[in-house]
Amino acid sequence: MTRALIADDELALAEYLRTRLAALWPELEILPLAANGLDALRALENDEPEVAFLDIRMPGLTGLEVASRGAGGTHVVFVTAYDQYAVEAFDRDAVDYLLKPVTDERLGKCLERLRRKLANDEPAPGLNDVLGKIASALPNLQGAGKLRWVRALKGEVVHQIAVDEVLYFQASDKYTCVVTREGESLIRLPLAELAGQLDADVFWQVHRSTIVNMNAVASTRRDLSGRAFVMLKDGKTELTVSRAYAHLFKQM
């Protein structure tokens, strides 16, 4: 049985696509939805579906990044709302694309193409050239892959937290503590791995174990020994700046 992955952070659109796929290709086995690029990459690597419908703009990793890293044997269909740029850049013989909102007519043509490729046992095409064209054509894509949401555990409840609302991240053994004005929660991701997914213009690493949202910083100071600290706008939290990162605050 052919298996397909749908990855889109807009869950309503993802559910709609799942419904239409079920109607137009009843034999298709659809894997659990992936709500961000990281989940999509894990699903591609672990489940190796024959087909993947990837939204281009997702938190964590863009659809282009997911495809380039993990879609080795998978036929990728990109889903995008950016027609005038992306459509011109796509190579129709290499990959397919769907514009939001997806129509039955367009989806049907896409599925015909996929069925033909699968029936003829055609290998999934190389994506590098196409991905490069799309990346250069889409406006403001750089930075779009930066993390916008984190799913953090507090007690037995998983919370969806906007990264902009995070005051700081702090390493906690194999986890990372996510601190907002509402309290603390945990994500199962080491701080070092998280750092590469954050907007470096906003989130500064100030200590081996701490990354702070600079929009939440109210002031900085040094003590008599020269150690640096940042005070947050909540008026009660002060974070230590280690010597390795003190140069970031030379203007103090």
Q: pTM score > 0.75 for this model?
A: no
Lowest mean pLDDT among 2-6, 82-86, 176-180: 82-86
Per-residue pLDDT tens over the stretch 16-44: 999 999 999 999 999 999 998 889 988 99
Find all residues with CB under 8 Å of 177, minimum gap 6, and list them: 169, 170, 171, 184, 185, 186
Domain chopping of the chain, boundaries: 3-137, 154-249
Radius of gyration of the chain, Cα coordinates, nearest whole angstrom: 22
Per the CB < 8 A criterion, the answer to whether 17 and 8 are in contact is yes
Measure the CA–CA gap between 9 and 162, rounded to whole angstroms. Answer: 13
Find all residues with CB under 8 Å of 92, minimum gap 6, and list them: none
Query: pLDDT at position 237, please?
Result: 95
Beta bridge partners of 34: 7
Find all residues with CB under 8 Å of 44, minimum gap 6, and list them: 5, 52, 66, 70, 71, 74
Per-residue pLDDT tens over the stretch 198-222: 888 899 999 989 999 999 999 999 8
DSSP one-letter code for 34: B
State which amino acid sits at residue 230.
V
Query: pLDDT at position 94, please?
Result: 46
- Between 148 and 172, where is the model more confident? 172
Mean pLDDT throughout 113-121? 88
Query: pLDDT at position 33, please?
Result: 94
pLDDT exceeds cutoff 90 at 86: no
Measure the CA–CA gap between 9 and 23, rounded to whole angstroms. Answer: 22
Looking at the chain, how many residues does it have?
Answer: 252
What number of CA atoms fall less than 13 Å from residue 9's CA on the CB side? 20
Look at the domain 154-249 and name its fold.
OB fold (Dihydrolipoamide Acetyltransferase, E2P) (2.40.50)
Measure the CA–CA gap between 231 and 210, rounded to whole angstroms. Answer: 13
**CATH number at 3-137:** 3.40.50.2300
Q: Which of 70, 62, 73 is nearest to 135 (CA)?
A: 62
Measure the CA–CA gap between 227 and 15, rounded to whole angstroms. Answer: 52
Q: At what angle do helices 11-24 and 104-119 cross, to 10 degrees?
A: 60
Per-residue pLDDT tens over the stretch 45-80: 899 999 999 988 888 788 877 887 776 778 888 887
DSSP one-letter code for 198: S
Mean pLDDT throughout 175-189? 91
Beta bridge partners of 176: 171, 187
Measure the CA–CA gap between 84 and 92, rounded to whole angstroms. Answer: 15
Query: pLDDT at position 57, please?
Result: 80
Work out the pLDDT band at 168, boundaries 50, 70, 90: very high
